[in-house]
Chains A and B, each alone.
Chain A
Amino acid sequence: MLTAGIDMGSKFIKTLVLKDGMVLGKAIVPTGFEPSASASKCLEQAASEAEVDISSIDHITSTGAGRKAASEANTDITDVGAAAKGVAELIPEARTVIDVGAEDGRGIKTEADGKVVDFAVNEKCAAGAGAFAEAMSRALEVTLEEFGNLSLKSDKTIPMNAQCAVFAESEVVSLVHAKTPKEDIARAVHDAIASRVVSMVRRVGINESVALVGGLSHNPGFVDAINRGLETQVVIPDNPEFVGALGAAIVAGERNK
């Protein structure tokens, strides 16, 4: 059976084509201002890599913030459900899933089959999400990749008190003016993001093992901060940004039966 999952993220759309549990192709494109068109483009690219025709896909399930905008999708599933399902496939022993994307962060407590027991999602606040890291890297005039690695060079803890991304940025500016080394500021930012995520995840309870997925999992500074915050080592699958799309593709298979 051929299925596909489309993860309509706020910043990127990720698509994955699955055949009997094997990933045949995947693609990622910026969401842009025309999410529906971007989703079509992303699906075409994934289908092309998989060397299949879109019309031959038995069932497509969308997920993500803009999941209703994926016109090719037959059904949809929430981000929470898709992330849990994707992690259950890749890291079956995980009982806590942390998914941090550009604008959303969520903590999910799961059972063995990826069934969601409880979840917590950040509210209207970017302080615990990837967009904040991106904005702070711009403030420090480094690339996002450099920003993540920079913070590993610091062993200094500088608390950031602001609970809001906007005010946190002004704290960063103050640190810049105080000639604080960039690596210390980078670590402070990652600690601040991680502290909000950890607090959210603790609401649902932390059960070993803990899987970390979503785009921010690529940021080593954040991963280090979250490991320290949780006092455990999170497990990150390959291609963590595609886990939601994978979960959606698996659900597509279940729904096509």
Chain B
Amino acid sequence: MAEYETEPLKCWQKAKELRLKYYKDYQDARDKGGLRWTGGAWSFDAIPAGLGHDVHNITGEPYGASLAFDKKLSMECLEAAEAKGWARDLCSYMRNYWGSMYLEKFAFGGEYPEPDFCFQDHICCSHAKWYQHVAEYKKVPYFCIDVSVGPYKDLDESRLMFVVNQMHESIEWLEKVTGRKYQDELLIEAVENETRSTSAWAEICCLNMAKPAPLDEKSMYSLYVHGTLAKHSKEIADFYEELRDEVKYRVDNNIAAVPDERCRLMSDTQPPWGFLKVFRYLEKFGAISIGSLYTFGLIGIWETKPDGTWGPRTTPMQKGETITSRDQALRILADWNLSKPEWQHFYDPNLKTEMMLQIVRQWQLDGVMLHLNRGCEGLSCGIMENRLGIAEAGVPVMTFEGNMGDEREFDEKRVMTRIDSFMETLGMEMLESSVSS
């Protein structure tokens, strides 16, 4: 008899439809007279939104993850990238994306829909080069904003303006390369939506402090993705608020993600997308991964509350601010994104360790699983320092090697054995129901 009741998320179907609509909108944009652009999940997508409601984007990382989930297509893409001479230790999302472009195969059917322009920012070295190559290969214009101004705690006016000034320049560039007149009211609307969606996502993650947790990380991957696709869109902001209300309902009614929850963990970095069964395997021990700094902070925007806890960042609208100008919108957008948790460790791994330990304490976790992700230099940067810091804090921690987008670098049996060992150290035995199944 399971400890808690569980049930599927009611908005699961809507989540799927929204994701597919996003890719379809991108694919069909040109046929409808609109524009297509590509860039990363961290790009300032609210800025091109000022070109019109018929402008659609495709973000590279979630697209790379979609390819990785389709092992056969992913292998074709990776081999196509390697055939061009790219090294296997480059970002595996990037290699999957490039392979899809070389092969002219779109993961959602048809040919790779080429963009009209590339719009990116970079804090990770792969990010800038990724779309530089796309732009050169597809002969389309490219703009990139450098956001490496240091950690948010050290942000000052000059650092902020370094980013804001590039944003202003990017708008002039967008008008020039698209021939469209920029609409500030659409930018303001997009900035409002982005602050709303990314704060709502953080609120959803906070609800996972509940025991039993209403969401497991494997399911969260299918939900956080919307923020990585179009965090500036009204549809996504509205969806996250609807999801938040449903998750609240689950908490209020003790509806669990894992009906036998008895051990709470968190992971780190992107998972090996072709092997999400890792998370189902944990459930055989009654263990749940409640999320990670990655799922919480890749797109979720947070702040430290007066009582020292971590919570969703207060939006300008919640503060009663009204955005009335382009400059104000861009300043808010820059400041908002520079506070992104997943940007901080690029400057100092200790900043990440502190955030991880905050999650461990606040979400009442029993251990941490770190994915030594060979596919992402950016998010794996300093991860062994994090391991050390977490272990020194007395928190059980395990590591496993893998690759988010290249299944050739994941040894399933070895990883499962590693999990067995970790479960033993936590004193967890496989549930009776799992042993017999």
Contacts and interface: CB of A to CB of B under 8 A. Distances in A.
Nearest to A109: B391
B377 interface: no
Interface residues of A, number: 18
B421 interface: yes
From A79, A116, A204, residue with most partner B Cβ within 10 Å? A116
A78 B411 contact: no
Interface stretch (A117-125, A139-147, A227-235): A117-125
Interface in A172-201: none
Nearest to B414: A124
Interface string B415-429: 001101100110000
A124 B420 contact: no
Nearest to B388: A203
B418 A118 contact: no
B421 A79 contact: yes
B24 to A, nearest CB: 39
Nearest to B427: A115
A120 B397 CA distance: 10
B424 A123 contact: no
B95 interface: no
A178 to B, nearest CB: 31
Contact of A80 (B396, B397, B399, B424): B424
A2 interface: no
A81 interface: yes
A77 interface: yes
B411 A124 contact: yes
Which DSSP category, helix, strand, loop or mixed, fits chain A's interface? mixed
B387 interface: yes
B358 to A, nearest CB: 21
Nearest to B374: A123
B401 interface: yes
B424 A78 contact: yes
Given A78-B420, A121-B418, A203-B387, A116 B401 contact: no
A206 interface: no
Contacts of B421: 78-81, 116, 119, 121
A123 B425 contact: no
A170 to B, nearest CB: 20
Contacts of B417: 65, 78-79
A203 B384 CA distance: 9
B387 A117 contact: no
B425 A117 contact: yes
A119 B367 CA distance: 13
Contacts of A123: 372, 401, 411, 414
Nearest to B399: A120
A116 B424 contact: yes
A48 to B, nearest CB: 31
Contacts of B401: 123-124
A118 B368 CA distance: 12
B43 to A, nearest CB: 33
A120 B387 CA distance: 11
From A119, A120, A204, A205, residue with most partner B Cβ within 10 Å? A119
Contacts of B420: 78
Contacts of B372: 123
Nearest to B417: A78
Interface in B385-437: 387-388, 391, 396-399, 401, 409, 411, 414, 417-418, 420-421, 424-425
Contact of A116 (B409, B411, B414, B425): B425
Interface in B6-63: none
A28 to B, nearest CB: 22
Nearest to B422: A119
Interface string A79-123: 111000000000000000000000000000000000111111101
Interface of B: 372, 384, 387-388, 391, 396-399, 401, 409, 411, 414, 417-418, 420-421, 424-425
Interface of A: 65, 77-81, 115-121, 123-124, 203-205
Given A77-B424, A117-B425, 10 more contacts: A78-B417, A79-B417, A115-B425, A116-B421, A118-B396, A118-B425, A120-B399, A123-B372, A123-B414, A203-B384
22 contacts: A78-B421, A78-B424, A79-B421, A80-B421, A80-B425, A81-B421, A81-B424, A115-B425, A116-B424, A116-B425, A118-B391, A118-B397, A118-B425, A119-B398, A120-B399, A121-B418, A121-B421, A123-B411, A124-B409, A124-B411, A203-B384, A205-B391
